[in-house]
Amino acid sequence: MKIAVVGATGLVGTKMTEVLRERNFPVTEFIPVASAKSAGKTILFGGKEWIIKTPEEAVAMKPDIALFSAGSDASGEWAPIFAAAGCRVVDNSSRWRMDPNVKLIVPEVNGDTLTKMDMIIANPNCSTIQMVVALNLLHKELRIKRIVVSTYQSVTGSGVKGINQLQDERREWAAMNLSSEFEAAAPGNRVSGGRDKAYAYPIDMNLIPQIDLFTQNGYTKEEMKMVNETRKIFGDDNIAVSATTVRVPVEGGHSESVNAEFEREFTMEDIFAILRKTPGTIFIDNSDNPPYPMPLYAYGKDEVFVGRVREDLSCKKAVNMWIVADNLRKGAASNAVQIAQLLLRMN
């Protein structure tokens, strides 16, 4: 089994390699792929050093499965080329997610829809993944009518740049007054050491209610991803979704406050029972310690954690809940490897 990781030197690509190793994926030949500037360097996998290849070199090696995390442009160019060579592609970018001919897969939710004919499979947005995993059985049993979600997303969602900016600001913050920090944070400026910023404003000691660019309707692309991807994964265009996405000064793990309204009647005991048996989740109730999920405790784990589940006092058929997951793992790398494991069973 030849496995390629395209974008192997990036944050998510590195995590994909780590998850492949942890899950004992049956790799006979590992093909790390990156840009020409990284080609020729080596990556350690399975106790052996593997030479980083360019995309052209990797295609010629005819991998069986390629996990892509190299950005939308690279995926748009190379995923079809890999697929044409007989390689199944699991893509982590946004390039193929809303393509009507490409399936958007979260294994616990709709993994059973995959077939041998699917050569390019899209990995959803990190925030969408953890939300639909948590809501999956609730939707099947009670039918979701409307979702209102606010996210609290880690800087790791912005890659190394986001981590660097947070760490740099934490080192510098004490030496700066607030006014000079905001002045220094103007778009195009750099933090000390000459490192590019991920955000136009300070992230340490701050929240930024913008992830990705704004669209004409006033929502950001990240917010619209949650709207459109949720409907596609659940296969229901009638679900109303309203999202607000926020970047927070946390280095690992996304959190979400979710209000879900259902079509059917329920008791809170029904909700708790459904959540306890929802695949891929860990339900935290008030008797646990801590009595709610936090990104600190989700870090490095593949499960989606659900807690603070309570009745909506303003709407008869709705509940509020708090959902947390490691965005680099279940929100990206682990979900992609799980998809690859499903493909493996089809061979």
Q: List active site positions.
A: 126, 254
3-state SS class at 71 = coil
Question: Which are the contacts of 179, defined by CB distance < 8 A and separation ≥ 6?
Answer: none
Encoded tokens for 305:
């954690």
Rounded Cα distance, 135 and 62, in Å: 38
* Residue among 347, 253, 244 at smallest CA distance from 303: 253
List b or e across 51-76, with b for residues whose CB sees 16 or more CB atoms inside 10 angstroms. Answer: ebbbbeebbeeebbbbbbbbbeebbe
Strands (E), the chain: 2-6, 29-33, 42-45, 48-51, 65-68, 88-91, 103-104, 120-122, 144-153, 240-247, 254-262, 281-283, 304-311, 318-325
3-state SS class at 145 = strand
Rounded Cα distance, 95 and 75, in Å: 7
